[in-house]
């Protein structure tokens, strides 16, 4: 049986689960935790994924939440994350220079949305692009690909004992 494709807008609660990894059902809620970095990739016809680096009591944790729009559920995973790996990724990201308002022309119906969000006390930044970024953003796109590969290699498929079944109709 094939389920009909639905966009993220069709299930706003699932979009919130991808956007707010600190409160994913089934993953540990740590007092005083805060989001440092979030990276996402939302393809139209494949499972959509968000990764986050979370700091709690001087420890770092890597989280991933995956939404499968065809099977109607999400699942999450988490593992401790090496601070030196995070520091290296952060330094590389900080050294990327882009023109933030560079235009990218084109139209399309389906494709993949990508994004990076970095949060700190003094400065927060959220940047995203659909399918291919502007030509001047090649270094940012490369960093995104490298980061998601590192994150996926560090995480098991799922650490949540049961999959979170959405109560939104399929």
Q: What is the pLDDT of residue 169?
A: 42
* Domain span at 43: 8-165
What number is the average pLDDT over the span 87-113?
A: 89
Q: What is the pLDDT of residue 78?
A: 93
Residue 140 domain-assigned (yes or no): yes
Residue 19 domain-assigned (yes or no): yes
Q: What is the pLDDT of residues 14-53, one digit of tens each?
A: 778 888 888 888 888 888 999 999 999 999 889 999 999 9
Q: Please tell me which residue, 5 or 137, carries the higher pLDDT value.
A: 137
Q: What is the CATH number of the domain that holds 66?
A: 3.30.1560
- Rounded to 10 deg, the angle between the 138-154 and 83-94 helix axes is 170
Residue 1 domain-assigned (yes or no): no
Closest CA to 49 of 158, 168, 161: 158
Residue 51 domain-assigned (yes or no): yes
Residue 25 domain-assigned (yes or no): yes
For residue 51, the cross-strand partners are: 39, 64
Mean pLDDT of the chain: 84
Residue 170 domain-assigned (yes or no): no
Residue 3 domain-assigned (yes or no): no
Residue with tokens 């090496």: 82
CB 36 within 8 A of CB 28: no
What number is the average pLDDT over the span 65-85?
A: 89
Residue 74 domain-assigned (yes or no): yes
Q: Give the count of domains, the chain.
A: 1
């Amino acid at each position: 049986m094939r389920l009909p494709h639905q966009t993220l807008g069709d299930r706003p609660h699932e979009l919130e689960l991808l956007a707010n990894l600190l409160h994913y059902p089934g993953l540990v809620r740590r007092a005083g935790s805060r989001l440092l970095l979030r990276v996402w990739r939302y393809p139209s016809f494949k499972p959509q994924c968000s990764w986050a680096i979370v700091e709690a009591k001087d420890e770092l944790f890597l989280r991933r939440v995956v939404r499968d729009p065809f099977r109607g559920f999400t699942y999450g995973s988490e593992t401790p994350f090496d601070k030196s790996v995070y520091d290296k990724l952060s330094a590389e990201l900080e050294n990327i220079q882009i023109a933030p308002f560079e235009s990218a022309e084109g139209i399309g119906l389906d494709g993949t949305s990508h994004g990076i969000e970095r949060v700190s006390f003094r400065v927060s930044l959220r940047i995203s692009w659909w399918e291919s970024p502007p030509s001047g953003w090649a270094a940012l796109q490369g960093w995104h690909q490298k980061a998601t590969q590192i994150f996926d290699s560090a995480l098991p498929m799922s650490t949540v004992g049961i999959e979170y079944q959405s109560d939104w109709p399929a």
